[in-house]
Structure 1
């Protein structure tokens, strides 16, 4: 995929060689933001099952540009009950220096294409309400706010709300 004014960007299925870069991106959000509700940085062993799911219905993809991993996106299980098997969680993490370049929108579009190919009917995104950038992204991409959960997380000495967004894939 090529973006105007940049070099080639491509998406690749997650595998073991990408784990250190994915971990570095994720732990940035753990340590510095409320984007992640983890409060302690993860290890390679801890992040592995999160980004390399055993169920082949779900996947993680890295976004690579000029040979560097600049982000990753996940299609993960929404709930562990059979009736939810047509719904997936969609999540995107970008290396902080790549925020604001519309890469997130491209990653979500890619994940939606993958979700359709896997016959998912609904995608759900869960976002901390302090993460206004992500809320605007999902709203701009046609996701509707479906729920607000108040004070369900506690990090950096404050209570945090989460909003759930959903998109019915047609």
Structure 2
């Protein structure tokens, strides 16, 4: 069981550790270096941003969902990003976190959500497919990591 709550400043060291793991070992993010809590503060706590953390029963941070405001002539829109500590994947937490973000966005008046996922990130692609996100296009060579170019699958979901 997980508690989901708004990001607190004290959570930033744990999120920096999590993000650094993904940056250095996976294609989940195109960032390729260790990051600091200050970096995460700038990434997650900007104007109009909303970030929520999942707290495990032992009090540790299990993951986060981040909503970044995106300009849209069709009304309020957010881009969704989700990261989970590796030991908390495959347990339904990702689905729970995305649904939480969707619910918050809808209450905040958002009409649409967008997601960008590396085409090699099969678990995330499957998650957003299962949650009814529509694949809209692929950005070819959107990033470079581990000596190769990586493509990005874009998704959209209407909340109305």
Which residue, 141, 145, 152 being the options, matches 2:142? 152
Q: TM-score, normalised by structure 2?
A: 0.95
Unaligned runs of 5+ in 1: 1-7
2:56 is aligned to: 65
Q: TM-score, normalised by structure 1?
A: 0.89
Residue deviations 1:73-94, cap 9 Å, x none? 0011224xx6375110011100
1:132 is aligned to: 122
Which residue, 59, 69, 76 being the options, matches 2:68? 76
- Give the aligned length: 159
Give the superposition deviation at 1:54: 2.5
Residue deviations 1:50-84, cap 9 Å, x none? 111223xx3000001111110000011224xx637
Give the superposition deviation at 1:44: 1.6
1:23-42 counterparts in 2 under 5 A?
A: 23-42=16-35
2:84 is aligned to: 94
Quick one: distance in 1 between partners of 2:30 and 2:8? 24
Structure 1 residues 20 and 90: CA distance shift in structure 2, 3 A = same
Cα pair 2:17 2:35 within 8 Å, conserved:
no
Give the superposition deviation at 1:110: 0.5
Give the superposition deviation at 1:150: 0.8
Give the secondary-structure state (helix, strand or coil) at the position aligned to 1:35.
coil
- Compare 147-156 and 82-91 and name the one that shifted more: 82-91
Q: Stretches of 4+ moved more than 2 A in 1?
A: 82-85
CA RMSD of aligned residues (A): 1.3
